[in-house]
Amino acid sequence: MTDRSATPNGDPAPGFLTGFSLLLPITLSTMAIVLLAPILPQLLSDFSTVPAHEYWVPMILTIPALCVPFFSPLAGMVGDRFGRRRLVLPAILLSRVGVGLAEAAIMVLSTTMIGDYYKGAARCRLESDAGR
C-alpha cells in the first residue's frame, strides 16, 4: 500500500508513475554494462592488433562505472545547491548528448576505416551493411 499523504510543503504525495520515472534513469549505466559485457570477448578479438588492447577494451565497461563513485559526491552537492528536480532532466539530456557525441565519432571513424581497409566489392558490401 502506498502512503498518499501530502508532502511537508503541502504538495500531493508522488505516486507510482513518479517513482517509476525516477527509477528508469538509474538503470541507464547498468544497462550499458549489461549490453556490452556479452560482446567483450569479440571486441578483444577484433582489436587484438591494437597495442595494449587487453587493457583498453575492458575500459569500455570500467571507465563509466568508475565515474559513478568519483562524481556522485559532486552531483549530490550540485543537486543540494540548485535543486534535484531542476537538475535531473538536464543531467539526463547531458548524458545523452555525451553518448551522441561518442556515437558520432564511432560512426564516422568506423565508416572511414572500412574505406581504408577494404576495396571493391568487399568495401561496397560492408558499406551497404553499415547503413542497415
**Nearest 5°: phi and psi at 78?**
-65, -40
Three cell numbers, residue 84:
534535484
Three cell numbers, residue 37:
559485457
pLDDT in tens, the chain (132 residues): 455 555 667 677 888 888 888 888 888 767 877 888 899 999 999 999 999 999 999 998 888 888 889 999 999 999 999 999 899 889 989 988 988 999 999 889 988 888 888 889 888 888 786 655
Residue type at 66 in one-letter notation: L
> DSSP code of 1?
-
In Å, what is the CA distance from 118 to each residue of 19, 43, 83, 122?
Answer: 50, 20, 52, 6
